[in-house]
Amino acid sequence: MPKKNKQKRSLYQFEMLEDSIAIQKHTPETNHQESTNRVSCKKFLSQFNEPIKALNKKEYPHHNRILAFAHSLCDLVVEKAKDKLAILKMKAACEAGCDACCYYTDMDATGIEFEEIIRYIHKDMPEATKQILLKQVQEEPDLKTHGQKPCPFLIRSQGCCGIYPVRPVGCRSLLATKRCRLDVEEDTGLQTTVTLIQQAWQEMPVRAGALMVLQEQARKGKGHANINQNFSEFLVKFEQLENIKLEQLFASDDPGE
């Protein structure tokens, strides 16, 4: 019987970004523990099937349920960090409408996260939000506030995130103890919260980065991967997304599929 001509599936479903300068290749560091930290991708990921099934689909509407789980762990870690802050008699200053970090962070997402962001924009983002984001990039493509360029997914007039349910780990992990301002550089407690968040990750069954790396490797047909390789092979830098790509993304229903 002739062999079926298998069509090669791309690692990520975002053809529209293939030639974008926003995609950056990350070369993961290898270390001497590599061989001892290798696990079977499928077997390792399958141990989380039950908590993944139990995830609330309204809170985590992701098509990629492993990513939804990674993001839920990240949110849990932030809650734990807030509890630790309370013990130190401090509290988080972050609240709805507070958006300075969406200007100063120069955020990025892993390939797997960005694939989910594209799917969310096409399938779940309210039409009104898409229109706002489109208008922003068409009418004020190079807008800066205090020298900082806003994230293209920020709804500028409302100070809120247009992709909130699927925002990447970097955004989910930001926690300040003093409200950040763009016009004043000051200590907003980020160092403290970064340490608390790192401590909270130690209490988790797995790191979000490891879940993404194992999924990437499994997609590439690799049976095993290093559980300690915490970084994805590709990062998408939001600030470098070309305006023309953003327009395509917000204007069309399914350009990348």
What is the contact surface with ligand SF4 in residues (CB under 6 A)? 93-94, 98, 100-102, 105, 107, 151, 153-154, 161, 163, 167, 171, 174, 176, 179-180, 188
> What three-state secondary structure class fits 24?
strand
Separation CA 203–CA 31 (nearest Å)? 23
Cβ neighbors of 86 (< 8 A, separation 6 or more) are none
Give yes or no for a contact between 85 and 177, defined as CB atoms under 8 angstroms apart.
yes
As measured in angstroms, the least distance from the Cβ of 135 to ligand SF4 is 16
Q: Toward ligand SF4, which CB reaches closer, 9 or 178?
A: 178
Q: Toward ligand SF4, which CB reaches closer, 66 or 171?
A: 171
Q: What kind and span of H or E run contains 80?
A: helix 65-87
Q: Toward ligand SF4, which CB reaches closer, 55 or 93?
A: 93
As measured in angstroms, the least distance from the Cβ of 167 to ligand SF4 is 4
Q: Toward ligand SF4, which CB reaches closer, 69 or 104?
A: 104
Q: Toward ligand SF4, which CB reaches closer, 41 or 137?
A: 137
As measured in angstroms, the least distance from the Cβ of 52 to ligand SF4 is 23
As measured in angstroms, the least distance from the Cβ of 93 to ligand SF4 is 4
130-161 residues labelled b (16+ CB within 10 A) or e (exposed)? bebbbebbeeeeeeeeeebebbbbbbbeeebb
Q: Toward ligand SF4, which CB reaches closer, 171 or 227?
A: 171
Q: Which of 86, 214, 235 is nearest to 168 (CA)?
A: 235
Give yes or no for a contact between 132 and 162, defined as CB atoms under 8 angstroms apart.
yes
Q: Toward ligand SF4, which CB reaches closer, 65 or 237?
A: 237
As measured in angstroms, the least distance from the Cβ of 16 to ligand SF4 is 18
Instruction: Give CA angle at 120 (114, 126), nearest 5°.
Output: 140
As measured in angstroms, the least distance from the Cβ of 138 to ligand SF4 is 18
Separation CA 235–CA 189 (nearest Å)? 27
As measured in angstroms, the least distance from the Cβ of 114 to ligand SF4 is 11
Residue 89, phi-psi category: left (phi > 0), alpha (psi -120 to 50), beta (remainder): left
